[in-house]
Structure 1
Amino acid sequence: MPETVEYCLENLKNIKQAEFVLVVLPSENATIDKSTIYNFVKFGENNDKNIISQCVMGEKVVNTPQGYYDNLLDKINAKLGGTNMLVGHDYIQDLPFSLSETMVVGADVNHPGMIEKVPLSIAAVVGSFDANISHYSNDIRIQKKDRTETIHDIAQMLEKLLIHYQKKNEGRYPNNVIVFRDGVGDGHVKILRDSELVSMEAMLNRLAPNVKIAFIIVQKRHIVRLGLTTQNTNARKPTYNVDSGTVVDTHIVEPMIDGMVLNSHFSQLGTSKPSKYTILRDDFGLKTDQIERLCFFACHNCARTRKTISIPTSIRYADLCAYRAKQLTDAYQTRNSDQTSTSLTSMTVDTELHEQELLMKLSKVLTIDAEKSEKLYYI
């Protein structure tokens, strides 16, 4: 199957000069595993910088849910470099810096499950490079499994994004960098501050010493929930969920840490789950209302939806980018199952040596062409 998919993509590129491919995956009851086909399509796409693909489910084409094609076209437009929507700059005009001189960064790590054969973590960092905070470049690194949630090469990854920003903005670096960091437990906050933040500061002092930085941790796994005391009957369905943009910065937050709880999205069903924000560094001296408005603004402009999402868009993109990388490693593992199995079995003999060998192989698999890395191919 891998060879068939790659052969089809190769023909589309060479014979039809295709730049975009729409792939209809088999239905749920088909004998062929659609997730395997999906991974191979993305693996083949990853090997060619000139092709962007979009997969659709066969049953969705036959029985199309309301709004399906709207969402599909939004994703395709964004993958091809288009812009679906923007938030007016006047919304955050009270901030002490200009968005046209700002890069918004999202960082996340995808860890292997307990039963997965490849015991390696994948880190992804994305950074905006336009004045509207709608286009992002990315960098992906594979690293040893580390339950401290640390991104080992975050300084080098951020440096690569800064250099890309410089190329896209007439040779100048951004004056401001806002970093949103995902996937961090309460017990690892200090570790990240002493490792990732310190390494980024050292890199910035060398590359662009005048750049100001804000470093904000965003947590999705926590026990805080916000709700109304009386039912909201103005929504499409009666609900006790709070409105989009609801923020709490007193009483239920950590007393010794600068932070807040923000419910940026609105849920019609179920219980809304807000995100917890912890500010580790703020060179701008933002007031409480300003940083809350900034974080809410960062939850807009996601190309996958026309609504506000529950976390900053840059983090969502980093999460999707890391997950796409995992799909590529899964496809590589299936495609080269004999070699991968041998390598993993040999790791019991010399774990360090074979872990490094596997790291090198998978790093090549995840190498993205510079031109393609500035597209949202992973959404």
Structure 2
Amino acid sequence: MKLGGRNAVVRELLPFASTSATVIIGANVEHVGRWGKPPIASFVASLDSSYAKYVARVAQQKAPGDVELLSRMLHELLLTFYQATSQIPQRVVYYRGGASQDQYFGVLQAEMKALRKAFKLLSADCKPRVTFIAVNKRHHLRAFPMNSSGENNVEPGTIIDTGVVDAHGFDFYLYGHKNDQGTTTPCHYTVLHDESALSAEDVHRLTFHLGFTLGRSTRSTSLVAPVYLARLAARRARCYMREVSDGPFKSKFDLAGPHDGIRNCMFFI
């Protein structure tokens, strides 16, 4: 990564980037699924107003919704943001991947509680407004342009927010990237909690523009960059996981973190 972690930035100013100290957080739980290995929880948080530079924290999740573990990881991210910007966050936009729709309520309850605890650990005055957005690519929706001129895939930036979405909720499908082969699959975003009363246009613009901030890609990505980075961090953490014997028929796994010298860099890219 060049320029301190920024290979490129979006030319157009992103929503509320200049009006308040905003942290973009990406969260994901990687289920390794083999040999009894525990899931890996990963978080990334933005450190700049262009939302291009991130710091990550990873840990074994021994129990689903472990509030103590999650709050400790989130507190470390918020503290790093404060040290980098000298600002207490006023707004948090939290993108959560790796959860199915039937898990949304439990995930929201546990991780909002962890966020509140992390805010208190940072400062008694830290009371940012939180927008919590679930991210899901595991669905069967496919769409095609009605008047295509040789191009059968939907153009990047297309939003579907009527007809096939929840009539009583705030969700949308976003085509964030251009597919060279096969049928493009949109990403499904569901706003589960919003204390900032953001307009649909602001959420759409922010989510689409974040697809251009991934440093390892020169084009937009199908998945919003913070969740993409959280997945990369979790997969990188597999390299730090070692098996510790616990008897002849049972194994334990120990997750060693990265060296302190690279801990706050984008080592997982």
Structure 1 length-normalised TM: 0.65
2:112 aligned to 197, 208, 218, which one? Answer: 197
For the 8 Å contact 2:89–2:126, the answer to whether it is kept is no
Deviation at 1:344, TM superposition (A): 6.2
Do residues 159 (structure 1) and 75 (structure 2) align?
Answer: yes
Match of 1:143 in 2: 61
Task: State how 1:49-198 maps to structure 2 within 5 Å.
Answer: 77-78=1-2, 81-90=4-13, 92=14, 95-96=15-16, 98=18, 101-113=21-33, 116-144=34-62, 146=64, 150=65, 152=67, 153-170=69-86, 172-198=87-113
For the 8 Å contact 1:184–1:219, the answer to whether it is kept is yes
Q: What are the superposed Cα offsets for residues 180-211 of structure 1, whole Å, 9 maximum, x if unpaired?
A: 00011011011112211233134325534331
Unmatched 5+ residue regions in structure 2? none
Deviation at 1:247, TM superposition (A): 0.3
Deviation at 1:97, TM superposition (A): 5.7
2:146 aligned to 216, 229, 234, which one? Answer: 229
Match of 1:295 in 2: 207
2-structure distance, mates of 1:154, 1:232: 49
2-structure distance, mates of 1:214, 1:189: 14
2:192 aligned to 250, 262, 280, which one? Answer: 280
2-structure distance, mates of 1:155, 1:321: 18
Deviation at 1:154, TM superposition (A): 2.2
1-structure distance, mates of 2:236, 2:149: 38
Deviation at 1:100, TM superposition (A): 6.6
Q: What are the superposed Cα offsets for residues 261-305 of structure 1, whole Å, 9 maximum, x if unpaired?
A: 111111121000101001112122111111111111221111111
1-structure distance, mates of 2:202, 2:93: 13
1-structure distance, mates of 2:186, 2:230: 19
Distance 1:175 1:298, change over 3 A: same
Distance 1:308 1:282, change over 3 A: same
Q: 269-278 vs 295-304, which deviates more? A: 295-304
Q: Report SS of the residue matched to 1:120.
A: coil
1:368 aligned to 258, 261, 265, which one? Answer: 258
For the 8 Å contact 2:135–2:190, the answer to whether it is kept is yes
Deviation at 1:346, TM superposition (A): 4.4
2-structure distance, mates of 1:86, 1:307: 12
Task: State how 1:337-348 maps to structure 2 within 5 Å.
Answer: 340=244, 342-343=245-246, 345-347=248-250
Deviation at 1:107, TM superposition (A): 0.5
- Percent same amino acid at aligned positions? 24
Q: Report SS of the residue matched to 2:248.
A: helix
1-structure distance, mates of 2:161, 2:210: 18
Q: What are the superposed Cα offsets for residues 27-65 of structure 1, whole Å, 9 maximum, x if unpaired?
A: xxxxxxxxxxxxxxxxxxxxxxxxxxxxxxxxxxxxxxx
Q: What are the superposed Cα offsets for residues 211-247 of structure 1, whole Å, 9 maximum, x if unpaired?
A: 12111101010111121124343xxxxx311111000
Task: State how 1:213-228 maps to structure 2 within 5 Å.
Answer: 213-228=130-145
Deviation at 1:151, TM superposition (A): 6.0
Q: Report SS of the residue matched to 2:115.
A: helix
If asked which structure has higher relative contact order (CA below 8 Å, sep 6+), I would say 2
Q: What are the superposed Cα offsets for residues 310-356 of structure 1, whole Å, 9 maximum, x if unpaired?
A: 11111111000000111332xx34xxxxxx4x426343xxxxxx7xx
2-structure distance, mates of 1:151, 1:224: 33
